[in-house]
Structure 1
C-alpha cells in the first residue's frame, strides 16, 4: 500500500488551483488532478475553503473506496485548509482508470472537481518462445515413497497416493522406491507402486544397503559403515534382479533401478572405482531384465563419482541414466565459488552423455526445522518455497534435467503434510511445495523443452512442446514484487488452460487474453503460473 501527498505526487504545477486573495465564500481543491499508482493505497488532497460549508461526493467509478472527511467548513470561518485522506483500490485491469471527486460549496452551490487517475498495477514482461530450438526430453516429476523401515507409521495411504498420482490429483509422474535389504519387506510398497503405475507414472527403485550377509563393516572417519565385499558382487546383482522379478510378478514394471543411493555417503560405502567395476561386471545382467540401469547417484552429483561413468566407455555403455542429488548446492549462482561451480558442472552433463538423460533423484528443503521458534521455520513460508523448490526445478529444467524427484512425499517439508507440529498443512493435505511440483508435473511431463527467454530477470520461464508440435506449455516463476503481464508472441496460439499458485491461492485459473501478436497471461507478484497453448 502506498501513500502520497497531493502536493508531492506530480511536478505539473498547472494542476494547482490558485485561490490567491479570493474574497467571499469558496470551497476548492488545491489541485484538480492527482495521479496514483496501480496498486491499492492512500493519497491525500487539500480542500481550501472560506465562509462555506462543503461536502464531497464520488463520481462514477470504483477506484476510490473511502474519503475522510466527507464534509466540513463553516459559514463564519475564513481561509481554511483541510486535508482529505483518499483510499483507493488496486487496478486489476489492463487499462488506466480514473474517478472524479466532486466538492460542493453548500453555501453557493458551486462545484470543484478533483480527478484521480490511476495507472496500471502491473509491469510487462516479454517472452520469446522458439519451438524450433529443442532441448532435453522431460520424463516427469515426483518424489520418494516413505520407506516403512525409516518412517514408521508416517506412510502414504491410498488416499494420499490418489492425491498425488490419481485422477484429478496433482498429476505426479515419477515414484521412487527404496529397495529394502530384507526381502520380507518388499511387499510393503507394491500397492502404492501399482496405483502410481496404473495412473501413468513410472516407478524406479534404489538400494541404500545390501543384505547384511553380503557386507562387512569398514571405518569411514570415526564410523563403522557397511561395505559390499567384492566377492559378493554377483550375489548383490542377484539381489537387485530378484527385486525386479518380485515387483514384476506383483504387477509393478520398474522403469529403472539404481546401483546404490549416495555411494559417497555412509549408507553403504563405495569408492568410485568399486562402483565402476560392479557396473562393468554386472550391469548387463541387471539390464537384461529390461529395466534401465541408473548410476552413480552421488550425494551432490559429485564429479569424483560421475565423471568415471561418463569417461569409461564400458561402464557408460551399461549406464542408461546418469543420476545424482543436489545436496551440495545448486541455486545460488550469483557469486563465483563452489556452489556455482557445482551448478555449472551439473548443467554441463547433458552435452557430455551422448543423447542419454540425467535425472535429479533426491533433494529437500527444510531450513529452520531444528529451531524451537516457529517463526524461524523457513520451510513453511511461501517465499522460501517459491525461491527454493520452484527456482531449483526451473534451474534443473534449464540445466537439461529430464526428471526431478523430491525426497519424502509426505513430510512437513514435503508435498503432503503429516502429523508433525511443524507441518504447514494438515495430515494428507497438499503443501505449497506440493503445488509447485504439480505445476511442472502437469505442464512438462512427456514434453520436450524448447527455447524460452524472458526480458525480465525476475520472471523465469521454461517452455515445452509435445511430439507433434501442436501444443506448447510454459511454466513461469514471477519472483518480482509486481504483478506481470507476460506477453507471449505466438501468432495463432489459443489458451487451453492457465493456472496460478501464490501465497494465498493454489492452482486457480489465471487471467489470459489476446494481444496483437499472440497472448498474454497475468502473473501475480511472487507466483508460479502454468499455461497450455494450442498452436
Structure 2
C-alpha cells in the first residue's frame, strides 16, 4: 500500500511539473525517460543561514548534486547523491547555509546531474540580506547635555533615606556602568539647609556631572497667599514687589554653593509654577524672567524657565513670545506629567507635538535647548495585589521610561532628568518596603537611564534610518566625528537582526543590552569584511546600546 501511494504521488507531481510553465514550476518531463528534477527552479532563503531544503523528483535514474558559483554560501548538501535504476521517489535535499552579513543578496546555482547522461537541471538559490540600518552623521540635530535625577531633598525625606557617597558613585562614577551626568538640587527656602547638599554636589561634580538647582518655595518672608483655583484655598504666591528680593535669594544660593566649591550650571525660575508650591501666572513668569533673568545670569549660571508641570503651552508660550524673557532664558524647561508618549490620545499627541516643535521652531537657530527636568513612573505603587504593581515589571519600565526617553531624544531634548534618584520607583532602591531591590541597588529604570547616559551624554544626535520600524533607535556622534553610538529599543516579542551601516571604517565596536533577565550585559557584534557594517542582534523586549570608534 505504501508503494502504491508513493508512486501515485510521484506520478501526480510529474503531471503537475509537465503542465506548468512559469519559473516556480516550469519543468517539463519526457515520458518514458529517466529524469531527476527539482520541484522548483528558484528558492529564496533568509539571511540568517541555517537549514533549508528543496524537493527532488526522480525516476529510473542515478543522480548527484553539484554547486556552481563564486559565493558558496551553501556549506553542506545532504544527500549529495542517490537514485536507482528501475525506481522512483521524492527526495528532500537539505542545504546548510552560512549567514549573509554582506549588503548584497547572495546567489548560488545548484544542479542535479543525471550520472548516466550528464544532463543537468538547475535550482537557483537566492539569499536575502539583513535589513539595513543607516546612520548619517552629516545630518545633525540637538546637542545632548546629559541625564540624571533629583538628589533626595533633606527637607522631604528622612535622614536614613538620603543618598550616600557609595550610592552616588554607583550612579555617577564615569568608570561605572551608569555614568549619570546631571544632578538636580532643591533650593531650600531655609538658607541654613543649603549646606546639606554640598558634599553630594561636590562628589557628583568631581565625576563631571552638571549641577542645576530649582526652587519650590519662594520663602515665607517674600510670599503672600492667594486662592488660585477660586475654591477657597490658600496658595503661596510671590508678589511683584518682591521679585528683586527673590532674584537676590537665587543669586545668594548660587554664590553660597560657589563659595563651597560647587559650580551651579543653571537655576530655574520656579519648580512647577502652575502648581501649589509657589503659584505664578504665565504672565508673572514672563515678567520676572524679562526683568531679572539677566541679573541672575550675571552670577555665572544659565537661567531656566518656565518649568511648568505638563510643559504647559500657556507658560512656555509666555516666555517664548516675550522677546525680553526669551532673551534671558538659556534653557526652556518643563515636565511631561500631562502625557507625552500615548499618541493615540489627541490631547497627548497635541502636547507631544507642541513640545517637539520647540527646538526646531524656536531654539535651534539661537543655540538654546530644552530640558525635561522631572518625571516619575510609579503605576501600581499603592496596590496590594502584586500583579497590579506595574512599576516592578520590566515591560512597564521599558514601555514607560524607555519609550519616553527615546521619544524625548527624538523630539530634540537635550537633557532628561528623573524625579527622586533613590526611591522604590526611581533609579536605585531605598528603604521603603515597596522597593523590589535592596537599598542602594540599581533598579531597571536605573539601567534604562544608564543606556542613554553612558552612550549619549556630550554627543550630538544624528540621523538614523531603521528600515521597517521594528526597532526604535536614536544615534549620536562626538565632536571629533570618530565615535558613533546608537541606543535602540526593541519593544516587540521577536529578536531583531540588522546590519548597521557606518560611513567609515570601524576600528572598534562594543555593545550592551538590558532585558528582563540581565542588565547592561556585553553582547556579541560582528564586523563585515568591508569594515563598514556591523551585525546587530537585538533581543525581544530590550534596550540595546552600541559604541563604534572609527
What is the TM-score normalised by the length of structure 2? Answer: 0.75
2:488 aligned with 1:476, yes or no? yes
Distance of 1:358 and 1:176 partners within structure 2: 15
Aligned residue for 1:435? 447
Equivalent residue number for residue 88 of structure 2: none
Quick one: structure 1 residues 113 and 496, their matched pair in 2 at CA, closer, same or farther if it must change by over 3 Å? closer
Say if 1:98 and 1:372 are closer, same or farther in 2 by CA, change over 3 A: farther
Partner residue in 2 for 1:68: none
The higher radius of gyration belongs to 2
Cα offset, 1:375, TM superposition: 1.4
The change in CA–CA distance for 1:113 and 1:350 in structure 2 (over 3 A counts) is: closer
Specify which of 179, 197, 219 is matched with residue 227 of structure 2. Answer: 219
SS of match in other structure, 2:155: helix
Aligned match for 2:331, one of 321, 324, 329: 321
Aligned to 2:171: 164
Corresponding residue for 1:55? none
1:270-291 per-position Cα deviation (integer Å, ceiling 9, x unaligned): 0011111111111111111110
Quick one: distance in 1 between partners of 2:77 and 2:454? 40
Shift of 1:168: 2.8
Look up the match of 1:460. Answer: 472
SS at match of 2:373: strand
Q: Distance in 2 between matches of 1:358 and 1:509?
A: 32
Cα gap change, 1:114/1:450 in structure 2, threshold over 3 Å: closer, same or farther? closer
Q: 2:458 aligns with which of 446, 449, 453?
A: 446
- CA distance in 2: counterparts of 1:398 and 1:264, whole angstroms: 27
Cα distance in 1 between the residues matched to 2:74 and 2:513: 22
Distance 1:319 1:487, change over 3 A: same
**More displaced 10-residue stretch of structure 1: 214-223 or 237-246:** 214-223
CA contact (8 A) 1:494 1:519 kept: no
Deviations 1:345-379 (A, max 9, x none): 00000011233100000011111111111211101
Aligned twin of 1:240: 250
Decide whether aligned partners of structure 1 residues 373 and 99 sit closer, same or farther in structure 2, where only a CA change above 3 A counts.
farther
Sort the Cα spacing of 1:526 and 1:96 in 2 relative to 1 into closer, same or farther, 3 A. farther
- Specify whether residues 426 and 456 from structure 1 end up closer, same or farther in structure 2 by C-alpha distance, changes over 3 A only: farther
Instruction: Determine if contact 1:210/1:236 at 8 Å carries over to the other structure.
Output: yes
Q: Pick from 190, 199, 219: which aligns with 2:198?
A: 190
Give the aligned partner of residue 415 of structure 2.
Answer: 403
Q: 1:96 to 1:450 in 2, by over 3 A?
A: farther
State the shift of 1:115 in Å.
Answer: 8.0
Q: Please name the residue that 2:542 is paired with.
A: 527
Q: Cα gap change, 1:96/1:288 in structure 2, threshold over 3 Å: closer, same or farther?
A: farther
1:289 aligns with 2:299: yes
SS in 1 for 2:431: coil
Cα separation, partners in 2 of 1:249 and 1:163, compared to 1, 3 Å: same
In the TM superposition, residue 422 of structure 1 has moved relative to its aligned partner by: 1.7
Residue of structure 2 in register with 1:350 after alignment: 359
- Contact kept? 1:448, 1:466, Cα under 8 Å: yes
Partner Cα distance (1:186, 1:126) in 2: 53
SS of the residue corresponding to residue 220 of structure 1 reads coil
Query: What is the aligned counterpart of 1:204 among 212, 225, 231?
Result: 212
Q: Distance in 2 between the 1:427 and 1:498 partners?
A: 28
8 Å CA contact retained: 2:488, 2:545: yes
2:504 paired with 1:497: no
Residue range with higher mean Cα deviation, 136-145 or 452-461: 452-461
Shift of 1:494: 3.7
Stretch moving more, 255-264 or 367-376: 367-376
Structure 1 contact 140–404 (Cα < 8 Å) conserved:
yes
Q: CA deviation at 1:419?
A: 1.6
Secondary structure at the counterpart of residue 253 of structure 1: coil
Corresponding residue SS for 2:234: strand
Q: Which residue of 2 aligns with 1:298?
A: 308
2:274 alignment counterpart: 264
Gaps of 5+ in 2: 1-8, 11-45, 49-72, 80-90, 100-128
Among candidates 391, 397, 416, match of residue 379 of structure 1: 391
**Which residue of structure 1 lines up, in the alignment, with residue 238 of structure 2?**
228
Q: CA deviation at 1:497?
A: 1.9
For residues 132-171 of structure 1, what are the structure 2 equivalents within 5 Å? 132-153=138-159, 154-169=161-176, 170-171=178-179
State the partner residue of 2:347.
338
2-structure distance, mates of 1:436, 1:243: 33
Deviation of 1:220 (Å): 2.6
CA–CA distance in structure 1, aligned partners of residues 133 and 261 of structure 2? 44
- CA 1:175–1:337 in structure 2 vs 1: closer, same or farther (change >3 Å)? same
Counterpart Cα distance in 1 of 2:323 and 2:253: 27
